[in-house]
Structure 1
Amino acid sequence: MDVIREWYQLWQTYPYHNEINFMVFIPLFFVLRSWLVKKLNLYFNSKQENNDLSPFIQSLINWGTFYAIIVYAIIYFRDTLWLGETWFKIGDTPVTTLTFIVPAIIISLSIKFSNFISRFLLHRVYSRYEMDQGMQYTFSRLMHYGIIVVSILVALPVIGFDLSILTVFAGVAGIGIGFGMQNIISNFISGLIVLFERPIKVGDRIQLGDLHCDVEHINIRSTIVRTRNNEHIIIPNSQFIENQIMNWSYGDPKVRQEILIGVAYGSDVQLLERLLLQAAQEHEEVLDDPPPRVDFLNFGESSLDFRLLYWIPHPVLRTMIKSALNFRINDLLQEHGVEIPFPQRDLHLRSVDTLLLSNLQVEMEQKKELQAEN
């Protein structure tokens, strides 16, 4: 042991011992990482039921190796000129290159930790408690924002930032809100209301004015929706609080649809009812409960007006199912000779006055006599 201690003390006196140690230990980190991954693959290959944990642990090992190298480098080079030199001071706290590196590591590590939790662990909780997609997204976003805020509050004191200044900042922010940040804060608060109250969720089919779209992402300030033409639109969250929204997917996704049709007077209305019900019952996406039904609406000017009512499992299928039913109804009506009439108008000619007609005849006879004399 004395010999080893003497060699170690002698090695410490060498001017570049830190750099050499660093260059030697870095490959050892990668060797250790490769060994752990190899052992991990052998273990999970023998246990097929736990294979879903393998990507999580491998990713954890990869990022653990990366951060271990960063921390190792900081420890070894903390006293060097480029890493430990004081650039300026904030109060009594010296600011060095290391002062900026440590908060960056804390924040990036918190982001990776949040992503790990969301990707590999939370789905187990969601599946266990049978949480819907919208609730999963809300919980994941709130957890992600919370972890980032905590990491920033932990990182700020490292660079000499006094957290008590935040009280002053809150007062200044209040003034800014009153003058120039109404829209930003309004959308921010609206985003929190949308995430907590959940009038809309990711995956919902909604109608905002004349816009029919699907909710793709709900962010803290705005929401990204996708139209049926695959156009992505960014909508401020305040629009979902201030305006009336039709959410086709809220609660029960089943929706009722209707098809209006008119047939000629004299048509067999019982046959028409059977044909309309047949078309609806033949389509596999039309629900049997509640069953489809046909209503005789009224006696129109040119036709007998009917309405087919049917239920579908999801609003996304509305246009597709209605088109298919229209095709089928048209075929069935042609096959059974049921006529869909054109609009009809009756014209009535008023009888011409007898005296006016006699005067016209006298004038015509006089013209003929004049022509004969000439």
Structure 2
Amino acid sequence: MRICCTHLLRWLLALHLGIGLAFAADPAIMGDAQAGLQDQIQSASAALDQVHQSLDDADAPETLQTLSENALKAKRDADAAVAALEPLLKQIDARIAQLGPVAPGGDEGSDIKQQRKELDQRHNDLDSAIKRGKLLSVEAAQTSDSIEKMRTQQFNEQIASKAASPLSPALWQQFARQLPADLLRIQALARQGRASLDAAIAKNGWSTPLWGLALALFLLFPLRMGLRHLGRRYAASDRAPDGRLRRTGLAVWLLLVGTLLPGLASLVLVEALRSVDAIAPRLQSVADAFVKASFVAAFFLSISACLLVPRRPSWRLLSIDDLAAPALVRYAWGAAALAWSAMLLNAIDVAARTSAVSTVALDGLIALTYVGLIMASLVTLNRQRHRAQGTPKDGDGSHPPEAGHPVQRSGWLTLAWLGGHLTVLTAWIATLLGYLNFSVFVTTQLVWMTVVVLATSLLMKFADDFFLWFFSPDSRTGRGFQLATRLSTARVEQIGVLLSALVRICLLLLGAAGVTATFGNSSILLGWFDTLSGGLTIGGAVLKPIAVVRAVIVLVAGLTLFRTLQHWLVETYLPKTELDIGARNSISTVARYVGIILSALWTLAALGLGFEKLALLASALSVGIGFGLQAITQNFVSGLILLAERPVKLGDRVRIGDMEGNINRISVRATEIQTDDKATLIVPNSELITKAVRNITMDNALGRIAMPFAVPLSTDIVQLKELVLDIYAQHEAVLKDPAPSMYVDSLGGSTINITSFGYVSSPRNVYGTRSDLLFALLQRTAAQGIALVSPTDIRVIQAPPPGAAASAAQGPEHPA
């Protein structure tokens, strides 16, 4: 299998190189690619000219948004063409460089002259196209910025526009005068819609609309309810993950199902009617608004239902008690219905071209309805706040009933309560003063911000729970990932935490974009994303998000590959060799660091950083390394010397100063020595290279046991020698070669000083074996009556004074 995979990889690599060489060598292929890219730049330029021409007559915000998006699309096309033309220009430059400079006197062959002329012409064409594309990109970006400024100005003027106050009778008198004409316009629009529907039915029949309606009803009721039931059933089963992920996962599932299926049902119904031309041209915008309003209303309902869960308090994710949850769900239904109606009525208002006073009255009615819903929600939250604080009586004067799902006080709810009161006050003042557009904007923005914040917080909780569960050592996926990568449990959990943080940051940015989308600057956000996707220029390198993702994948793959190789070396190959444990440790350590270095170089190559840039970076950092990192560099080089020369190796017993222990680990920076009291001594590698180190076990050194003792002069020294050598011979750890020996060191005044020697297989066995021999020597000499003497102890006893002696003779009955 490995051989087949190897041959396949070689074949694919050869094919890739062959295609690349053929592309580089075939002028026809390069010419076709160049022509296609130049046509793309020309098309982008034509699209930008069309935007400039349409900009003079554009006044509606929707039209300006479309033009801004078209300008950004032209910028993206130009950038893509420039990015594809630059490698072709480099190939042409390389071929021109291969021809070399023009010979003195112009003495070249005709074919060389012709090829040089063609290459120069193509170089000039490519360079001109690249410069034109870059200029077009800059012009498109400037056009988009100017359009966004116009949209912002129109938005500000619309928000700041003032009409008659709803308390003024003039407003309602003018509305009453314009109402009959507006009703006639709406009736005319309805007749157009009915005529288009009748004509489509007469031509194509009822089959397509009925099939669309049936599919929409299937998506809206059986499929949506079935998927919701399956999600709840799985979340309550034993197969679902433990912890909070059950609740957040179910909430996200309900949010997706509840938002997508109603919106898709409306989309299917509209597209079924649109496929048979059953929608009048003036009602196309109304149909689009119907689909958009269905998605928005379904989103409102889904986020409230999955977070509040009035019938299942144990699955509730918000700090809302059982009394407030059903009421807030009802208000969410009202907000969804109002949002759906407002979007649809505004679209009908624009399509029917009703009077301005009708639009103002409609905005005022929408604003007042939103204010009423917000006030009702604030009252519900206020009552819950009183229950949480233990207020003895509710707002109606009765004792509040006990809530079955007690909650803690939430700072977010308090902030929402304060923000809601401020919004209601602002909306009331703006409505009474006649700023109805501003009142509608404030109230709808509060509702939209609340929904977006709730959805973002839910998704952030789900991302945190999912990644922590996915990389948890208790989950099946976490154990599989740990076995595949051979990482420690802590490292796997750290990966989960980092991925969770990254996804939560992305969701937070997405939520911020959703909140600011209603201000009319969505195209600016799209432009920022385009700039980010185009890459950030750092020095001479361009870092793109796709390159960063590719580099992370390459880094993980490289580290995993080299870690697997090191594991194979340590566990499979090196134990089969005749190398000792120190040599095996040196090889595995060097292989580990070589793998890390190669993985880092591979990652930098995936980022697009060439080796020449790394050389410049290394030369720039050389001065800092020479001064600031001198000690670290010295230890690193010393570690390489230790691994290569091996004056000390893994398992050796060494003495450094007054510390002695066994070498437990050798890295490129420091060496770990385990002392006899099981402590770990970390020694920089430079200490082992530049200072004196006693290697007790180097070259399989033997351990020597020395037992000095003394006996009286009257001792039979021959018998003592036989006894001592017999003690050595009877111990199994004492070697027979070299043979044990006993020597007379010196003769004292009344003693014979003797020292005996024996050898064991390792210096590590000296201490314990010597203790055993001393025990045996004490037993045998005591049994045979041989006295062991030590240096004479001299004790000086001072005689008591005469008075103290007389007092002692009198006894206790005659105290002095």
TM over 0.5: yes
Report what 1:321 is aligned to: 769
- Which deviates more, 213-222 or 98-107? 98-107
CA distance in 1, matches of 2:561, 2:582: 22
SS in 2 for 1:199: coil
Among 92, 100, 106, which residue is 2:554 paired with? Answer: 106
Q: Which residue is 1:235 aligned to?
A: 683
The answer (yes or no) to whether the contact 2:663–2:672 under 8 Å persists in 1 is yes
Q: State, as a whole percentage, how many aligned pairs show the same letter.
A: 26
1:303 equivalent among 746, 751, 760: 751
Structure-to-structure mapping, 1:119-268, within 5 angstroms? 119-268=567-716
**1:113-154 deviations in Å (ceiling 9; x for gaps):** 222222234544323431100000101111111121112112
More deviation in 150-159 or 115-124?
115-124
Aligned residue in 2 for 1:330: 778
In structure 2, give the amino acid aligned to 1:293: S
**What do residues 224-266 of structure 1 show as CA deviations (whole Å, max 9, x unaligned)?**
1110000011110011011111112211232222111111111
Structure-2 change in CA distance of 1:91 and 1:298 (3 Å): closer
CA distance in 2, matches of 1:183, 1:61: 37
Q: Residues 299 and 221 (structure 1 numbering): CA distance in 2 closer, same or farther, change over 3 Å?
A: same
Q: Which amino acid aligns with 1:339?
A: A
Describe the shift of the 1:344–1:144 C-alpha distance in structure 2 as closer, same or farther (beyond 3 A): closer
Query: Where in structure 1 are there 5+ consecutive unaligned residues?
Result: 1-57, 65-80, 347-374
Give CA deviations for 1:278-333 in whole Å, capped at 9, x if unaligned. 22111111111111111111112442111111111111112111111111111111
Please say if residues 261 and 307 of structure 1, whose CA atoms lie closer than 8 Å, have aligned partners that are also in contact.
yes
Equivalent residues of 2:743, 2:755 under 8 A apart = yes
How far the C-alpha of 1:105 sits from its partner, in A, is 2.2
Q: TM-score, normalised by structure 2?
A: 0.32
For residue 343 of structure 1, what is the aligned residue in structure 2? 791
CA change 1:127–1:157 in 2 (3 A) is closer
Q: Answer with 224-233 or 332-341: which moved more.
A: 332-341
Closer, same or farther in 2 for the Cα pair 1:314/1:116, shift >3 Å? Answer: same
Aligned-pair CA distance for 1:177 = 3.8
For 1:13-48, what per-residue CA distance to the aligned partner results, in whole angstroms no more than 9, with x for missing partners? Answer: xxxxxxxxxxxxxxxxxxxxxxxxxxxxxxxxxxxx
Q: C-alpha distance in 2, partners of 1:92/1:182? A: 29
- How big is the shift at 1:160? 3.0
Go from structure 1 to structure 2 and tell me whether the alpha carbon gap of 1:252 and 1:63 turns closer, same or farther (over 3 Å shift).
Answer: closer
Q: Is the contact between residue 213 and residue 228 of structure 1 (CA under 8 Å) also seen in structure 2?
A: yes
Shift of 1:91: 6.1
Q: What code does the residue aligned with 2:729 have?
A: Q
Question: Which of 268, 291, 309 is the equivalent residue of 2:739?
Answer: 291
CA contact (8 A) 1:257 1:318 kept: yes
CA positional deviation for 1:59: 9.1
> Compared with structure 1, are the counterparts of its residues 229 and 94 closer, same or farther at alpha carbon in structure 2 (3 Å cutoff)?
same
Unmatched tracts of structure 2, length 5 or more: 1-479, 487-528, 795-816
Q: How many residues matched?
A: 274
The offset of 1:93, in angstroms, is 5.7
1:271 and 2:719 equivalent?
yes
Q: Give 3-state SS (helix, strand or coil) of 2:705's partner.
A: strand
Higher relative contact order (CA 8 A, sep 6+): 1
Structure with the bigger percentage of helix: 2
Relative to 1, partners in 2 of residues 1:325 and 1:59: Cα closer, same or farther, differing over 3 Å?
farther
Confirm or deny: 8 A CA contact 2:745 2:754 kept in the other structure: yes
* TM-aligned CA distance change 1:63 to 1:115, over 3 Å: closer
Question: How far has the Cα of 1:157 moved from its partner?
Answer: 2.5
Q: What SS does structure 1 have at the residue aligned with 2:647? A: coil
SS at match of 1:126: helix
Q: Is the 8 A contact 1:294 1:306 kept in 2?
A: yes
Separation (CA, whole Å) in 1 of partners of 2:633 and 2:575: 35
Say which structure is richer in strand: 1
1:314 to 1:219, Cα distance in 2 relative to 1, 3 A: same
Q: Is the 8 A contact 1:93 1:160 kept in 2?
A: yes
Cα distance in 1 for partners of 2:623, 2:540 equals: 30
